Amino acid sequence: MWYNVSSITDKEVINMSSNAEIIGSMLLKENIKPSYARIRIMEYLMSRKSHPTVDEIYTALVKEIPTLSKTTVYNTLNLFVKSNIARVLTIEENETRYDADMSCHGHFKCESCGVVRDFCFRSPAIDTNDLDGFLVREKNVYYYGLCPECQANKPAN
Amino acid sequence: MWYNVSSITDKEVINMSSNAEIIGSMLLKENIKPSYARIRIMEYLMSRKSHPTVDEIYTALVKEIPTLSKTTVYNTLNLFVKSNIARVLTIEENETRYDADMSCHGHFKCESCGVVRDFCFRSPAIDTNDLDGFLVREKNVYYYGLCPECQANKPAN
DNA sequence: ATTAAAATTGTAATCAATACAGTTTATGTG
DNA sequence: CACATAAACTGTATTGATTACAATTTTAAT
* CATH (domain of B144): 3.30.1490.190
Q: Can you tell me the distance from the alpha carbon of B60 to that of B109, in angstroms, rounded to the nearest whole number?
A: 22
Distance A1 CA to C3 C1' (A): 22
pLDDT interval class at B152 (50, 70, 90): very high
β-bridge partners, B146: A135
Task: Taking residues A78-101, report their average pLDDT.
Answer: 96
Last residue of a domain, one of A58, A87, A116: A87
Question: Considering chain B, what is the average pLDDT of its residues?
Answer: 88
B69 sits within 7 Å of strand C by its CB = no
Q: Given a cut of 50, is residue A90 above it in pLDDT?
A: yes
B36 sits within 7 Å of strand C by its CB = yes
B55 sits within 7 Å of strand C by its CB = yes
Residues B31 and B72 in one domain: yes
pLDDT the model gives residue B121: 85
Residue B95 lies in a domain: no
Q: Given a cut of 70, is residue B119 above it in pLDDT?
A: yes
pLDDT the model gives residue B111: 92
- Residue range of the domain that includes A29: 10-87
Distance B134 CA to D14 C1' (A): 38
Last residue of a domain, one of B41, B58, B89: B89
Task: Taking residues B54-71, report their average pLDDT.
Answer: 98
pLDDT the model gives residue A121: 85
Q: Which residues of B touch A121 (CB under 8 A)?
A: 126-128
| Residue A157: Cβ within 10 Å count | 7
Q: Given a cut of 50, is residue B157 above it in pLDDT?
A: no
Which bases of chain D are contacted by protein, using any atom under 7 A from a CB? 7-12, 16-21, 26-28
Residues B81 and B112 in one domain: no
Nucleotide C14, nearest residue via CA and C1'? B94
Return the CATH number at A57: 1.10.10.10
Render pLDDT for A3-44 as a digit per residue (tens, 0 to 9). Answer: 344 444 555 555 556 789 999 999 999 999 999 999 999 999
Handedness of CA A47, A102, B115, B47 (dihedral sign): negative
Residues B15 and B85 in one domain: yes
Residue A131 lies in a domain: yes
Q: Can you tell me the distance from the alpha carbon of B44 to that of B100, in angstroms, rounded to the nearest whole number?
A: 10
Say if the Cβ atoms of B144 and A137 lie within 8 Å: yes
| Residue A13: Cβ within 10 Å count | 11
Residue B121 lies in a domain: yes
**What domain count does chain B have?**
2
Render pLDDT for A112-147 as a digit per residue (tens, 0 to 9). Answer: 999 999 999 876 667 788 999 999 999 999 999 999
Render pLDDT for A50-67 as a digit per residue (tens, 0 to 9). Answer: 899 999 999 999 999 999
pLDDT the model gives residue A103: 93
Last residue of a domain, one of A40, A61, A87: A87
